[in-house]
Amino acid sequence: MSVTSIFITGVGGQGIILASELLSDVALCAGFDVKKSEVHGMAQRGGSVVSAVKFGEKVYSPLVSPGEADVLLAFEPLEALRTLHYAKPDGKVIVNSRPTVPATVASGADTYPRNIFEKIKDEVPDVLIIDGVSLAKKAGTVRAVNVVLLGALSNFLPFSDDDWSEAIQARIPAKFLESNLNAFQSGKNAG
């Protein structure tokens, strides 16, 4: 089997690191070699956060080069556009439809770009847009957008629902477990 590369992007506070840990756990549980990397320098100030997860028979590097990601999993539309060059032209983009407005836009110093989804589809035609916020709220917590998006991603990866459930149960505190399992299923159904 070849190596599968997933590039995860968003802004601080969206759960990108937890999502990459869950994905890594699932791949390990399924018996794959897994490597993970992350960059989250300005995350506390709403800055960009990226993580890469690669799995396969043998993975030699955790880094995903531009044009190498089989899937770009984006928790924020502008971050999807900003990191789109990491996706393969024939890859898949899964993106949360709700923007997180940067401080410069909130202050009026800048404007949020228009037509982001059209620009993404011009580069990578296979795009799945999900309103992760609404699905997470319906599942019981708006903080589970990351798990909603993992649910959507699960439709395109070779892992069983049991593997996903086991990973979620191992990482999510008991008081948030039910809503996160519901969020995962909502994302899976939407994907």
**CA–CA separation, 178 and 172 (whole Å):** 9
Q: How confident is the model at residue 13 (pLDDT cuts 50, 70, 90)?
A: confident
Residue 87's pLDDT is 98
The helix (run of H) or strand (run of E) holding residue 171 is helix 161-171
Is residue 43 pLDDT above 60, yes or no?
no
| φ, ψ for residue 97, nearest 5 deg | -75, -20
Distances (CA, A) of 141 to 138, 148, 180: 7, 11, 8
Kindly tell me if the per-residue pLDDT of 104 is higher than 90.
Answer: no
In the prediction, which pLDDT does 48 show? Answer: 82
Residue identified by tokens 């190596």 is: 3
Residue 151: the pLDDT is 97
- Domains of the chain by start residue, with CATH: 4-100+115-190 (3.40.920.10)
**pLDDT score at 179:** 96
Reported confidence tier of residue 41, pLDDT bands at 50, 70, 90: low
- What's the CA gap between 161 and 113, in Å, rounded? 37
Distance spanning both ends of the chain, measured CA to CA: 24
Choose among 102, 121, 132: nearest CA to 12: 102
Q: How sure is the predictor about 47, in pLDDT bands with cuts at 50, 70 and 90?
A: confident
Residue 128: DSSP 8-state: E
Sorting pLDDT into bands at 50, 70 and 90, what band is 70? very high
Q: In this predicted structure, what is the pLDDT of residue 35?
A: 97
Q: For 58-84, what is the mean pLDDT? A: 96
Do residues 183 and 144 touch, judged by C-beta distance below 8 A?
yes
Mean pLDDT, range 111-136, rounded to an integer: 95
